[in-house]
Structure formats: C-alpha cells, structure tokens
Chain A
Amino acid sequence: MAEHHAASDGKHKASANAGGSVHGNSRPGAAGGGGGGGGGKGGLSGGLTQPAGWQSLLSFSILFLACLAGFSSRLFAVIRFESIIHEFDPWFNYRSTHHLTTNGFFEFLNWFDERAWYPLGRIVGGTVYPGLMVTAGLIHYVLNLLHITVHIRDVCVFLAPVFSGLTAISTFLLTRELWNQGAGLLAACFIAIVPGYISRSVAGSFDNEGIAIFALQFTYYLWVKSVKTGSVFWTIGCCLSYFYMVSAWGGYVFIINLIPLHVFVLLLMQRYSRRVYIAYSTFYIVGLILSMQIPFVGFQPIRTSEHMAAAGVFALLQAYAFLQYLKDRLTRQEFQTLFFLGVSLAAGVVFLTVIYLTYTGIYAKIHIPIIASVSEHQPTTWVSFFFDLHILVCTFPAGLWFCIKNINDERVFVALYAISAVYFAGVMVRLMLTLTPVVCMLSAVAFSSVFEHYMGDDTKREKPPAEDSSDEDDKRNSGNLYDKAGKVRKHVSEQEKAEEGLGPNVKSIVTMLMLMLLMMFAVHCTWVTSNAYSSPSVVLASYNHDGTRNILDDFREAYYWLRQNTDEHARVMSWWDYGYQIAGMANRTTLVDNNTWNNSHIALVGKAMSSNESAAYQIMRSLDVDYVLIIFGGVIGYSGDDINKFLWMVRIAEGEHPKDIRESDYFTPQGEFRVDKAGSPTLLNCLMYKMSYYRFGEMQLDFRTPPGFDRTRNAEIGNKDIKFKHLEEAFTSEHWLVRIYKVKNLDNREPLDHKLRSVVPKQKYTSKKVAGHILFCCFNQK
C-alpha cells in the first residue's frame, strides 16, 4: 500500500500544477479547432523548459505507480495460496484456453465438447465469447516466441491484474478528455484499487469481465475522442476497440445502447455537428459489421430488440443531417422546426418503447427460478454500494453536478453513462462492475476540483499571459448558451480572487481532511480486497485460535480422486455449480454445468436429487450416470453446500415436473425447512439428504453435541439410519466436504429356477418349453 499513498500524494501536486496548461489541451476540440489553439500553445510554450517536463514525468510515474498498486493489490490470493484458477466459470475459460493453445485457433472455433451436458454435448466455439481465450493464448504464444516459457495457467492467473493496469491507463485517458489531467490521474488511482472492480479481477479470476472493463473504458475513450475531433481515424480505432469488447463480454450491449443514447441526446440538445455525424455514422456501420464477425453474436445485431435503438438513432441522424442540408437551401424555417420536432418525437417514442421492451424482458427473466437462484442477480442494497465504492459513492454525485453545470459534448456522455450505469447497478448486483469506472471518474472530477482550488500556492498567481488572451475567446462564445469551452478556465481565473479570500489555514485544513478521506479509502480498499475478494473458493482456509492456518483442500482432493480412480468416460452427476470444476480438474463428463443453457436438463438433475432413491435411480439409469458428487458442509460448517442450495433444486425441478416434485412437501407443516427429526419425511428420504448424511449419524464431532450434529444448520439430523440400495459410497474427502457415490449397475437377474432345468430333460414332449428356454437365452444374450 505504500505505493498507493505515494501515488495519491503525488497526484495532487500534479493536479495543482496541471491547472493552467492542461485546460489549453482540452479546448481546441471543444471549440471546434478554431482560434483557441494559439492560446493553448502559448500556455504550453510558456512553461515548456522545465514545468512541462516535470509534469509529464510526474504524470507518468503516478500512472505507473497506480498500475503497479492495482496489480499488486490483486495478488493476495496468489501469495496466500498459490497460483490457482478461482471459482467456477474461470475453470471453463481455463479449460477452453488450454484447448486453444494445444489444438490451435480453428480447432477451438469448431470445438464440440462432448464432455459437457451429457448426452447432448455443447458447441463451445459458437457459444462462447472468445476474446478472453484468444488474448491469453496470444500472450502465451508471444512469450513462448521470446523463449520465456510459462505455463498457460500462469498466463491465465495473471491476466486480470495486468489488464487492470491497462484499465487504469484508459480511465486516465478518458477522464483527461472529460475534465483535465489531474482528474485523470486521480481516476486512474481510484480505479486501480476500488473494490467494485477488484471483485472481478483478482489474480486467478480468469473471467470475461477482467478484460472487458478495459475494453469498455478504452472504447469510450476513443468514442469521446472521435466526437471531439470528428476524425475517421479515431472512430475506426473506436470500432476496433468495440470489436474487441464484443469478442470479450456480453456487456457490449451497454456500449451499443449508450453511444446511440449520447447521440440522441446531443440531437435533442441541438448540439448536432458534422463531428457527431461522422463519428456515429462510421461507428455504427463499421462496428455493426465487425461485431457480426463473432460467431456467438452472429446476426443478433440486426435482429434483437436491444440493438434496435442503435439502428433507430442511425436512421434519425441521417434524416437530421438531410434536414440540415435542406435548411441551408430552403427558407421556411418554421416548417422545418416543426418537421424536426415530429421526427424527434417519433424517434423518441420508438426509443422508449425499445427500452421498455428490454426492461420488461430483463424483469421477466428475474423471475425464472434458475436466474433468481444465482446470487449475483439480486438487486443491490446500499451496503453493497458502500462496500464496493466507499467514499466514492458519496462524492460522485458532486462530480456529476460539476459535469452538468459545465456541460459540453463529452460531458453529456459521461452524465448519461453515470445515470444509466447507476440504474443497472441498482437492479443487479453484478452490474456494479459497469458502474465502478464512471464512479471513479466522476469522483476524481469532484476531488480534483476541490484540490484545484484548495491546494494552489501563492506561486500560482504568476499566470502565463496567454490565459488572459484566451478569455476573449470565452466572451465570444458566452453568447451561446451551450458552448462552454471557457468555463473551466474561468474557475482558474477566479481562483486568484479566492486565494485572497480563504486564508491559508482554512485551505490547508480542508486539504488535510480531504487527504485523510482518501487515505481511509485506500485502507478500506485494501481491507476489502484482502478479506472479501481474495478467496479462491477452490481451496478453503480456516484459522485456529492462535492464528495458525489450516488449508482445507477437499475439492481438489476429490476431483483428483475422480481423475485417478474412475473410468475415463465415466459420467458424473452433480448440481450445476460444480460442472465446470469437474470438467476442468477431474476431466470427466458432466451432465450439467454453469453454462445453464438447458433448463429442462438441469430440472432433471434437480428431480433426481430431490426424489427418493428408487425414483432417482430410474432417472440416473436413463441418464447413464456413473457417479454422483455432492458438497456437504455439515462437518466443518461450510454454508455453501448442497443442502443449503437444495430448495433451489426443488424449485427448478418443480418448474418442469410439477406433478412429481412439490416444494411444499419439503417443508414442515409450519412452513420451515428443517433437517432434524421434525423435518418433512419427503426431505428426510430424498436422495440429496441421504447422500449428504450417510454414515453421519455415527459421527460425533464434539463432546458437547450429540452424534450426527450438523454444524452448518446447527441441528441434530433426523434420519440417522440411512441405507442405500442402488448406490454405494465411493469416496469422502478429509473433511467430508465432497462426497462421491457410485451408482450400482442393475442387479443380476434372479437365478434361474433349478427345478425347471432339472425337470426339462425328464419330460418327453418339451418343444414349447425348450422353445421358451431358447428364446429366453437369446434375450439374455442381447
């Protein structure tokens, strides 16, 4: 953390120094490349010899330190445990990347995975966003080309931290375009350590989001740049970055809706310009064609409702541009204004309908059990906002306020970004991730404007004369309500007066307190990263009273057992959470996994788990199941086990088989879910219960508790005498966390009736019986 403190100290200095000259940089774009350029140049050349050099060195080192802090604060898990892939989805990504590096790119695109979703299989190449795997594979290839031999696993583990450094840089660039360099540096420092982003990008969390946030921010940066300059060069860059984003994450839909929204609002505000026209037309066409190259996306961009807003705005923009063209030729302005109003109203209605449809679609999806069962798909409490963003969540509205007060084309964009992202984050916890970057940027704006006014020293009064000359430029523009190229500079010029007013004492107190807040933020981030977001969840750790640590490695122990002791083509049934891990670590065929594309298949597994043994046996026979794997936390008090997830299995099964499975059967008459004697008999005899608690009744964990005491649910189990007819215990891990059962083959047929055999030769006319016997033999041979 030392680096970070250094970084946060340094950047304030930079923002104070930056004040004068950087504004000059941002102006030419905003003022349309007019006469303002001279002023900016003057500002730079005034301090070219020393301060500018210092400034860029300082900026560079701050940025570098921010990247370094971001990278190293994501390494808790690697240092505490080892270089290991985390959780569930990353295991699939890792397995695919491994496939890519061993078999080549085209083989990967055509990959049909027959080890998943038995007996259906899964077309991986066409149902996956390949950006992540290709990125990791490419890095691996380049490193090997340079004779730096690393295992692909290490590339995968460290990919997300490396990309978080890149995210910091792209956030810096974007914020610099929106406000100034000081704010950019602050934003880079914020995004490097903010928990809302770390939660998805710690080392080992090899998931799409890790690289997608970089792509998102970089696309936005290039978009803002192309709106500012109106050059096709930047727009093509934006399209390429968008293409990368599409290849990496389904969240690209956010971009393809936000950018049209930006253009639409700009049109409404009558801020239409050639720059906007060029930027959006190019972006839409090229971006559309590029995005359709991803097999998983295919023709969606011209079919589905969430892409229609972009098309609508494209049509609207063309109509608007045409009207503008006509306006120059014709004189009847009234008519044209009316026409414009009509067009924009119609487009607005279309736009709102599309948004509404999408919204209702999302809302309907929330109520399907399989989606509702995932904890990430829940709405967000204020606590999670505060937990993930800390001080930033309170201060970023201030940044939004400043942005709207000093509005220009690109600040419209950031305001829309903030408002839409905050809405989505409120609806779903996992979308906190898209909110985090904009919160960092706007908070940086807020802090930077405070520091700009309160950190300046007396030396600042010696301003380059160029600033004064450019003020005339402001006055010229001030007639126009919207163009606000000069507003920021006005702050600076007024700052001189302010410095005379608020004495140095007040200023330094304010600065100190603000720095203290930032320090608390850094401490909070480190604490959260270390405690909440750095657990691999494949390896668990428990702490004794004296602080020593126990590693519970049951998962890998069990998966390795499967790998070593079962047939290569054995089929393992488990709840879908563990599908990817079984495939990745045990290399065995699974029935369902975390790619929950087939609800009825999952419901079938849920039905097997929640039926009694003989009914379950029929299902398992029909699905060719060889082994059943369950997670049981009752011995060590692990709360994420299958009994705690069990009601979701029942619900999902009930959704497909309402005749056979009823949720109410698993509750007591009082409506409680209990595993002890008072529990419902259906629960106490279902397969999941029996598999979890088999032989558990004999086990006394503690002298104070009776045998068969479940530590997770704090209850003595109700069914201690569990016998299996069709299953047998195959493996139980050290802490009983993973239990594996073998599904027995069908019993042998009843032994042949000896009497019949002995009788047969005695009879003289036996044609019928012999015939029957032969027939039976044939049948048996079959």
Chain B
Amino acid sequence: THCSCILCGPTVTLAVVLVGVCLCTLLSEKVTQMMEWASKRSVIRMNGDKFRRFVKAPPRNYSMVIMFTALQPQRQCGVCRQADEEFQVLANSWRYSSAFTNKVFFASVDFDEGSDVFQMLNMNSAPTFLHFPSKGKPRRSDTYELQVRGFAAEQLARWVADRTDVQIRVIRPPNYAGPLLLGFLLAVIGGLAYLRRHNLEFLFNKNVWAFSALCFVLIMTSGQMWNHIRGPPYAHKNPSTGQVSYIHGSSQAQFVAETHIVLLFNAAVTMGMVLLCEAATSDMDIGKRKIMCVAGIGLVMLFFSWLLSIFRAKYHGYPYSFLMS
C-alpha cells in the first residue's frame, strides 16, 4: 500500500497539474486574446461564437460588461446610439486609465451579428446592459436597470463599481466645439479689426454695444439659461390629437419655443419704449414722428398685454389681465 501511495501520489498530482496547466494555458490564451482586442478597441465587438467562447465557456477570471444593442440603421434605434456613445465613454475611461487591468472587459453584441445570443439569453429589448461576473452565475442585480437609472456613463460606472469593485472615473473627451467656435469668432473679429485697422470707428459705435447688451439681457430674462441647464423639448405634440402646444401648462417649466416667444415680446415692448422716445426727440418730419409714436405705444400695449395673458395661462389663479384675457 505504501508503494502504490508513493506511486499514485505523483500521478494524481501530475494529472491535476496537467489539467491545471491546460486550463491555465487556455485561460491565459483567452486573456491575452481579450487584451489584444481591448488594446485595439475599448469595446470589444462580439458575435455568437466569440460570446460563447469568451463569455459563456469556463474558465474565466475576468468580468464582462456587455451591451446588447441594435446599431444597424435599419433598426432605427435612436436610444441605442445614445447609449452606445455613453458606453464608449465609459469603456474608454477604463481603457486609458492608469488602473487598467484585465479584471473587466467591455464588449457589445449587436442584434444583427449575434441574434442567437439574444435568443440564448431570452432577450427581446435593446439596449440592455448585462454583467457577467468572473465567478458564479449572473444575479438579478447584474442586469442594469436602464429604465430607472438611465444610460449616463456616470451611472453605468457606479453600477460597474458596485458589481465588480472596479472604480472607473468617467472622463469625457472634452468638447472642442465650443472653444473652437469661440476661437473662430475671435479670429473673425480680430481679422476684421485688422483689415479695418485704420478705421476703428465701429468699435466706438454705441449702437453696436447697446444692441449686443440688449440681446444678452433679453436672452437671460427669457429663461434661456434654464433651457441650457434643463434641456426641455422645443414644443409638445399631443400624440393622440396631434395638436402642438408651444406653451407649457405649468409655471415651473417651459418649452424652448415659449422662451423664444417671450423673448420676442420683451423685445417688442422694449422697442416700443425706445420708439416713443425717438418720436419725441428725433428731427424727422412730423408725420413720421407721429407714426413712430403711435407704433411705439401700440407695441408696448399690445405685446405687454399678450405677455400678461400668456403668464396668466401659466400661473393658475392669477386674477389680472389687460386688453386680452
């Protein structure tokens, strides 16, 4: 018995080691393959075969975060495209961060490339985000709650951190459009100034300055900053009747169209006031001045009462109106 023990022991160990080595090589092969793909593109594109081999089949010591989507144009999935952008942002932040390891990989499966995967997982909606943990079966919380949390990269990062203990700091590629536009504008202004460097009178033109100041003030008082921060829709179309409403019914919110209307009305009242003064002070002939005066007071009255009526429609319980209700 001793003998066999001595003999058997190494064989069994050898077998275990062999299998282990075999698995290890398979695993390391898979990992190197994944790393190679990940170095090419931060979101690995998968079809049915790859999915089965690298995600479903053991062994695996890495977590997979997979987006199931339908990006082909004929699918007409607008949400998928937006979600894809956010997912790319997240994957890139991970790929190019200093903490990048082979613990987590990001991948996507397109419906038109791997519809069998969709069938296998019993999935019928896209986009869906799933996490396949390195150990054990996916649980309920490994399905990302898209409806509740939205698909912002920051939310996804929190979910990933929650599931895999990998903290990803989302770094969005800076948006160069704004600075570029500003630079372009400055260049144009500078160029104009250079071209007209012998005649810089226009810089001293008060009308230009007054006009731009007024534009800024009108933009602000019509709530464009609110639009910028909150991003409301331009107008609302009632799906059942097809009626388009430009004015939001509540005083807590507004549509973009509405703010444009208000901007115009405010501008009209302002113009009316200016016209009134111009009519009294300018040295044109009397007929024209009378017309200016009547137009001015008309503008002030008409647009102010119109504005008041819009306000009244929005602010429920407001009792006053003027000319029109």
Residues on A lying within 8 angstroms of B by beta carbon are 366, 379-387, 391, 393-398, 400-402, 404-405, 407, 415, 418-419, 422-423, 425-427, 446, 449-450, 453-454, 481-482, 491, 494-495, 497-498, 500-502, 506, 509-510, 513, 517, 520, 523-524, 527, 658, 664, 667, 669-671
Contacts and interface: CB of A to CB of B under 8 A. Distances in A.
B273 A398 contact: yes
Contacts of A527: 318-320
B223 A385 contact: yes
A506 B221 contact: no
Contacts of B301: 513
A382 B301 CA distance: 19
Interface stretch (B66-74, B120-128, B276-284): B276-284
A415 B254 CA distance: 28
Interface stretch (B32-40, B87-95, B106-114, B206-214): B206-214
Q: What's the interface size class on B, roughly?
A: 35 or more
Interface string B252-278: 111000110010011101100110110
Nearest to A664: B148
A422 B217 contact: yes
A391 B273 contact: no
20 contacts: A379-B226, A379-B229, A380-B223, A381-B251, A381-B253, A393-B266, A394-B304, A396-B217, A397-B267, A400-B214, A423-B225, A426-B220, A426-B226, A427-B225, A481-B204, A502-B279, A502-B293, A520-B322, A527-B318, A670-B147
Contacts of A391: 304
B319 A502 contact: no
A382 B267 CA distance: 14
A394 B263 CA distance: 9
B214 A401 contact: yes
Interface of A is mostly: helix
B30 interface: no
Contacts of A449: 277
B281 A491 contact: yes
A106 B183 CA distance: 55
Contact of A383 (B217, B225, B251): B251
A525 to B, nearest CB: 11
B266 A454 contact: no
A502 B281 CA distance: 11
B322 A450 contact: no
Contacts of A381: 223, 226, 251-254
Contacts, number: 170
A396 B220 CA distance: 13
Contacts of B96: none
A501 B290 contact: yes
Given A382-B254, A446-B273, 20 more contacts: A380-B226, A381-B252, A382-B222, A383-B254, A385-B222, A391-B304, A395-B269, A397-B214, A397-B267, A401-B214, A419-B213, A419-B217, A423-B220, A450-B276, A494-B283, A501-B289, A506-B294, A510-B297, A527-B319, A670-B147
B315 A383 contact: yes
Given A506-B293, A664-B148, A667-B148, A383 B300 contact: no
A450 B281 contact: no
Interface in B185-212: 204, 206-207, 209-210
Contact of B266 (A394, A407, A664): A394
A765 B218 CA distance: 96
Given A394-B265, A404-B213, A498 B289 contact: yes
A387 B315 contact: yes
B75 interface: no
Contacts of A396: 217
Contact of A501 (B228, B286, B307): B286
B176 interface: no
Contacts of B265: 394
B79 to A, nearest CB: 15
Contacts of A658: 158, 162
A395 B258 CA distance: 19
Contact of A454 (B207, B216, B280, B286): B280
A385 B320 CA distance: 17
Interface in B304-325: 304, 307, 311, 314-315, 318-320, 322
Contacts of A524: 320
B281 A494 contact: yes
Contacts of A517: 300, 304
Interface in B25-82: none
Contacts of B206: 404-405, 407
A494 B279 CA distance: 11
A418 B209 CA distance: 14
Contacts of B318: 527
A386 B307 contact: yes
A422 B222 CA distance: 11
B187 to A, nearest CB: 15
Contacts of B290: 501-502, 506
B88 to A, nearest CB: 22
Nearest to A670: B147
B84 to A, nearest CB: 22
Nearest to B301: A513
Contacts of A382: 221-223, 226, 254, 258-259, 262
Contacts of A494: 281, 283
A238 B214 CA distance: 29
Contacts of B223: 379-383, 385, 426
B318 to A, nearest CB: 8
Given A381-B254, A454-B280, A670-B147, A422 B293 contact: no
A502 B280 contact: yes
Contacts of B315: 383, 387
B50 to A, nearest CB: 31
Nearest to A517: B304
Contacts of B149: 664
A660 to B, nearest CB: 12
Contacts of B207: 405
B145 interface: yes
B281 A495 contact: yes
A502 B289 contact: yes
A664 B146 CA distance: 11
Interface string B228-239: 111000000000
Contacts of B229: 366, 379, 427
A166 to B, nearest CB: 27
B224 interface: yes
Contacts of B221: 382, 385, 393, 397, 422, 426
A514 to B, nearest CB: 8
